[in-house]
Amino acid sequence: MQTYLVVPLTLFVIFILKRIVEFRNASHASKNVPGFRILLNLFGLNNLLPRIPGVAYGKAAPLLKHSDFAHFGCDIISIVSAVPKAQTIFMLADANLFKVVVGSRFQFPKPYELYNGLSFWGENLVVSEGDGWKRHRKISAPAFSESNNKLVWQETISVMQELFDNVWGDQEQIVMDHALHLPFMIALFVIGAAGFGRKMSWNDTRAPPTGHKMNFQDALEHSSANIPLKALFPTWMLRLTERGRKINIAYEEIEKYMLEMVYEGKIARASGGSRHDLFSKLLEASEGDMTGEKALTETEVISNIFVFLFAGHETTAHTLCFAFALLALYPDEQERLLEEVIKYTPGDKLPMYEDAHSMTYLTAVINETLRLYPPVVAVPKRAAEDTTLVTTNHAGDSISVAIPKGSLIALNFCALHYNPKYWENPHAFNPSRFLGDWPRDAFMPFSAGARSCIGRRFAELESMVVLAMIIKNYKITIKEEPQFAGETLEQTKERIFQLTFGVTQTPKRVPLVFTKRV
């Protein structure tokens, strides 16, 4: 019996000693960079734990904004962890270094293996690098065209008009215990129309068509709402619970619908038809002769469109929810936005696509919301070779940081957006900071460089229409609740902006009231 114990015990001791040596080496290599020395890697169990000194950096680290960097007095900090393997991450909050990293795609490639959970149907723009990424990008880019931008604008107007006419109707007040469901459904319907070419309804109760277990709208809604679970857990594990089985069915159904649309698109193009939704445009571009690249396979088309649209859906829904809450908390800013909206949409006039660039305060409100609550907290890169990054610490001294080959670099957008070196009073909601000159290099809600978000304009235009139409027709206020009577503004803000973290920063509970304007 003792013999059987010796072998595993010896292997365990060797494992521990190896990790200790690797951890000490990594710590020594980062000795001139202040930061954290912890047990658990940032990717894994750490994301389920609070901050535990010496153990976990913590899932809620984004809530600290720029605090860690301020504490160490430098806009580069290091995080060295031990298990499951020794890992060094250099976290950045320096705008100049952001430019260096995003501008050097080959020197700082994306560690795309960390995104494998998003390759539900194969390779796509997110989970690819090198020549594969270039191919996906070159083929995908034409789909995000001016014609699609106009379609996004018009379809968002259509979705909002149906909401006002057929859902909210003559109600003087619409009270919501959590307002996230509203922009979630709006963004879903816009994706259905401008993304897939399929209009959906607020009151859709249609039965699934022959050969399907869910109608398209339900499949789209359930698959979109459960991306984190689908990315984290394999199909067999999801089958163990009722919710998991429903998620599996939703993904099977959305794949089936998309394959049908591939077939329908080929027939339509063969007969000379043309549409401007993203799915149709990507199918056209994927045939290869338009770009000179090898055509995307059907599964690659499906994989790309899914990642584009669902990442965009969550981004837009959460941004709009944060914007509603901010405007409710700052009524003067809401009134200023109303004045601009009325200027460009007097009487019964609807927002015009041609006025998008002129509505500067509306754009400023969206930008300030994205600054305070960037959808993606941080993006990882990997050093492809030994290199050096140079910054200035908070005392004004120049600091050179040696980055060993293979190290991870995290672009911390939250910290950048709250860095007082670039933003005066960074915790305040002040849309006016985006009027006139402002530090463009320190604003990266959609990343930057070659790998910046390809669907940025889609999300921006949709957000502009929704905010303009909501503010023109309804005043937004915080729902009054007896248990919170007597709160100060700061206490209300702290409660309203509690977050959870999934694919993007998610508002936990935003209780709002929409009161019809007279």
- Feature table: binding site: 453
3-class SS of residue 212:
coil
What are the residues facing 401 on neighbouring strands?
389
Q: What is the DSSP letter of 348?
A: T
Q: How far is CA 464 from the centre of its chain?
A: 17
DSSP strand pairing (408-412 vs 87-92): parallel
Q: How many Cβ atoms sit within 10 Å of the Cβ of residue 302?
A: 24
User: Which residue do the tokens 């305060």 mark?
Assistant: 361
Distance CA 300, CA 393 (A): 45
SS3 115: helix
User: What DSSP string describes 275-308?
Assistant: --SHHHHHHHHTTSTTTSSPPPPHHHHHHHHHHH
Give the C-alpha separation, 134 to 130, whole Å: 6
- Closest-CA residue to 415 (of 54, 157, 69): 69
φ/ψ (deg, to 5) at 407 = -70, 150
Residue count (the chain): 518
Beta bridge partners of 83: 40
What six digits make up the tokens of 485?
């009577």
Task: List residues forming the annotated binding site for heme.
Answer: 453
Question: Can you state the angle between helices 278-285 and 242-270, rounded to 10 degrees?
Answer: 60
Distance from C-alpha of 273 to C-alpha of 134, rounded to nearest angstrom = 29
Q: How does DSSP assign 476-511, residue by residue? A: EEEPP-GGGTT--HHHHHHHHT-EEESSSEEES---
Phi/psi region, residue 43 (left: phi>0; alpha: psi -120 to 50; beta: rest), is: beta
Contacts of 84-87 with CB under 8 Å at 24 or more apart are 84/41, 84/44, 85/19, 85/22, 85/41, 86/19, 86/22, 86/23, 86/25, 86/26, 87/26, 87/41, 87/42, 87/408
Helix (H) or strand (E) holding 468: helix 456-473
**Do the Cβ atoms of 296 and 139 come closer than 8 Å?**
yes
Rounded Cα–Cα distance for residues 250 and 70 (Å) = 45
